[in-house]
Amino acid sequence: MKTQVGIIGGGPAGLLLSQILHINGIDSVILERQSRDYVLARIRAGVLEQGLTDMLRAAGVGERLDKEGMVHGGVNLTFDNRIERIDLEGLTEGKMVTVYGQTEVTRDLYDARDAADGKIVHEADDVRPYDVETEAPYLTYKKNGEALRIDCDFIAACDGFHGIGRQSFPAGVSTEYEKVYQFGWLGILSRTKPANHELIYGNHERGFVLCSMRSSTLSRYYVQVPTDERLEDWSDERFWEEVSQRLPSDVAAEIEQGPSIEKSIAPLRSYVTEPLSFGRLFLAGDAGHIVPPTGAKGLNLAASDVHYLSKGLIAQYRDGDESGLKTYSERALRRIWKAERFSWWMTMLMHSFPADGAFGHKVQQAELDYLTSSKAAMTAMAENYVGLPY
């Protein structure tokens, strides 16, 4: 099989890249290790920056997003038994975020690729890139035990943190930067109305709490827990009690409790590898970076990678201009590190750090008090939360 761009990974990054390339007359093939049902069963966050929603519309996959997405013009912070709203829309000249699940984004992209007869190979085992330093790279994989090959011009690895893309860089080429946090997020999904019409991020001495949603009848809640916490030790009753204790009393009183339909614990880390390209192999999304979910940047960073990479590929094929591909890593990393900084800052601001003692907690309270009383500080947060320009 031959194609122009071989894409490893059939998640939202790989699908979006394939869709954008198709619209611009560039052929691609996606190799995905899992089944489609498995990919669509992944539960992920869904706070979309305006840049991503604009990209989805331009890619022809914005119809259901515009019907079902929940547009938020603000976000709420709780601390010291009070709640303060950050006016995202007012502080950023009209920019907002949209709550729309990553699973739904993936589903919409699958539908678009199906409508265009896009080539997606599911359950592709043992995917390997070869000859990426030459002008004729190729991919090998196994399907139903048969060894197969795809010849291509370029390879995009959108295959996640544990994927083969980053592992295929030669030793000594990459530099890795990582921070591992000593806590995780215990999250539940419940068929209950949201605690608020906008997200609530809570700082409390017992730990962080987040009240989010998937729809007007489906809510997502998280609490900070130690990394060695066991899921089986958390009954629904214990979880709801902990959420209530970490919120202001008037906010907690309005929470509708109900049985969980999904429960999990996710560790938190910040990670970046540099560079994001080697020869004709390019990393995008979690293959090149991870952010803690506090700043809602994971999927959005993957989208900005796709923006830069697709622009470079389009310029290469349309005009013979290779400058966009040569500078892809540098341009993408500038935005990645700004998002890493914001996600780290939000994490350090909102979570409990017992080792810092009473002084550390008081400093957090002072920073939150300053943040919510200073227009300049709120504007800086709002600009980062809605998404910095590409």
Specify the 3-state DSSP secondary structure of 180.
strand
Q: Which domains does the chain have, with CATH numbers?
A: 5-72+97-177+269-346 (3.50.50.60), 181-268+351-386 (3.30.9.10)
CA–CA dist 26, 42 (Å, integer): 29
In this predicted structure, which of 34-43, 292-301, 343-352, 363-372 has the lowest mean pLDDT? 34-43
- Tens of pLDDT, residues 116-143: 999 999 999 999 999 999 999 999 999 9
From the list 22, 72, 95, 289, the catalytic residue is 72
Q: What confidence score (pLDDT) does residue 380 get?
A: 98
Residue 387 banded pLDDT, cuts 50, 70, 90: very high
Residue ranges of the alpha helices (H) in 262-371?
298-319, 323-326, 328-350, 357-371
Residue 370: both structure tokens together:
């300053």
From the list 204, 289, 297, 351, the catalytic residue is 297
Q: Is the pLDDT of residue 56 over 80?
A: yes
Residue 274: both structure tokens together:
């540099």
At 256, which amino acid appears?
E
Q: What confidence score (pLDDT) does residue 154 get?
A: 98
Please say whether the beta carbons of 157 and 287 come within 8 A: yes
Q: What confidence score (pLDDT) does residue 99 get?
A: 95
Q: Is the pLDDT of residue 353 over 80?
A: yes
Question: Is 201 assigned a catalytic role?
Answer: yes
- How much is the mean pLDDT over the chain? 96
C-alpha dist (Å) from residue 337 to 106, 162, 259, 332: 25, 20, 39, 9
DSSP run (H or E) holding 241: helix 236-245
Question: Is 72 assigned a catalytic role?
Answer: yes
- Tens of pLDDT, residues 244-270: 999 999 999 999 999 999 999 999 999
Please say whether the beta carbons of 139 and 155 come within 8 A: yes
Greatest distance between any 2 Cα atoms in the chain = 63
- Tens of pLDDT, residues 314-341: 999 999 999 999 999 999 999 999 999 9
Please say whether the beta carbons of 113 and 59 come within 8 A: no
Q: How is residue 383 annotated by DSSP? A: H
From the list 100, 110, 201, 328, the catalytic residue is 201
Over residues 338-360, mean pLDDT: 96
Question: Is 385 assigned a catalytic role?
Answer: yes
Over residues 129-158, mean pLDDT: 97
At 57, which amino acid appears?
R
Cα angle 161-121-6, degrees, rounded to a multiple of 5: 65
Q: What confidence score (pLDDT) does residue 15 get?
A: 98
DSSP run (H or E) holding 63: helix 63-68
- Tens of pLDDT, residues 169-220: 999 999 999 999 999 999 999 999 999 999 999 999 999 999 999 888 999 9
Q: What values do phi and psi take at 35, rounded to 5?
A: -75, 160
Q: Is the pLDDT of residue 45 over 80?
A: no
Q: Is the pLDDT of residue 42 over 90?
A: no
pTM: 0.95
- Tens of pLDDT, residues 364-379: 999 999 999 999 999 9
Q: Is the pLDDT of residue 43 over 80?
A: no
Q: Is the pLDDT of residue 86 over 80?
A: yes
